[in-house]
């Protein structure tokens, strides 16, 4: 009789091996879906700007600092506190931008001066400024989102 009991143990061992095999196959299928979906995630671009409010409170200066992905940056979109940007370039060119897209990449270290439209003032504090960069691969990314 002792011999018969040892023969019955073969079936539970095979059952455990089959359950482990099914678990490994399911884990491999799930892992392939998870790792395959990571291919659609865009790389974060590395560029920077600084934003300052001049002491008189009427001019916001945005300084483009450049960065590792400077070569792929094509333009900047700036949302000023009033939603409309009057852009004064380093060359003294005065433009009202609606929508507020600076059509070319600014030079590194170039100050971008934002002032309210004539006869208007910035809204009261805090002043929200948003700078978004557009890149050559059709990606856009928030570069600066700050309150002054």
Least confident segment among 29-33, 72-76, 94-98, 107-111: 94-98
pLDDT at 48: 92
| pTM across the whole model | 0.64
What is the count of structural domains for the chain? 2
Mean of per-residue pLDDT scores for the chain: 78
Q: Tell whether 55 and 90 lie within a shared domain.
A: yes
Q: Tell whether 100 and 138 lie within a shared domain.
A: yes
pLDDT at 11: 75
Sheet holding 60-66, edge to edge: 48-53, 60-66, 111-115, 85-88, 94-97
119 Rama sector, left if φ>0, alpha if ψ -120 to 50, beta otherwise? left
Q: Tell whether 70 and 101 lie within a shared domain.
A: yes
Query: What residues make up the domain containing 17?
Result: 2-40
Q: Tell whether 35 and 59 lie within a shared domain.
A: no
Q: How far apart are CA 115 and CA 74, in angstroms?
A: 23
Choose between 90 and 125: higher pLDDT. Answer: 125
Q: How far apart are CA 111 and CA 51, in angstroms?
A: 10
116 Rama sector, left if φ>0, alpha if ψ -120 to 50, beta otherwise? beta
**pLDDT (mean) for 43-57:** 87
Q: Tell whether 110 and 76 lie within a shared domain.
A: yes
CATH code of the domain covering residue 134? 2.60.40
pLDDT at 26: 92
Q: How far apart are CA 112 and CA 49, in angstroms?
A: 10
Give the SS3 label for residue 117.
coil
Q: Are 59 and 69 in contact (CB under 8 A)?
A: no
Going by pLDDT thresholds of 50, 70 and 90, the confidence category of residue 43 is confident
pLDDT at 140: 85
């Amino acid at each position: 009789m002792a011999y018969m009991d040892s023969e019955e143990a073969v079936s539970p061992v095979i059952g455990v091996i089959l359950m482990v095999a099914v678990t490994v196959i399911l884990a491999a299928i799930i892992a392939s879906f998870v790792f395959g979906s990571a291919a659609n995630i865009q790389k974060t671009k590395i560029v920077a700007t600084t934003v300052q409010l001049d002491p008189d409170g009427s001019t916001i200066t945005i300084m483009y600092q450049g960065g590792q992905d400077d070569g792929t940056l094509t333009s900047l979109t700036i949302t000023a506190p009033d939603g409309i940007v009057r852009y004064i370039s380093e060359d003294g060119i005065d433009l009202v931008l609606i929508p507020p897209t600076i059509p070319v990449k600014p030079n590194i270290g170039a100050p971008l001066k934002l002032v309210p439209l004539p006869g208007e003032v910035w809204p009261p504090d805090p002043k929200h400024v948003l700078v978004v960069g557009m890149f050559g691969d059709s990606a856009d990314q928030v570069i600066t989102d700050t309150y002054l």
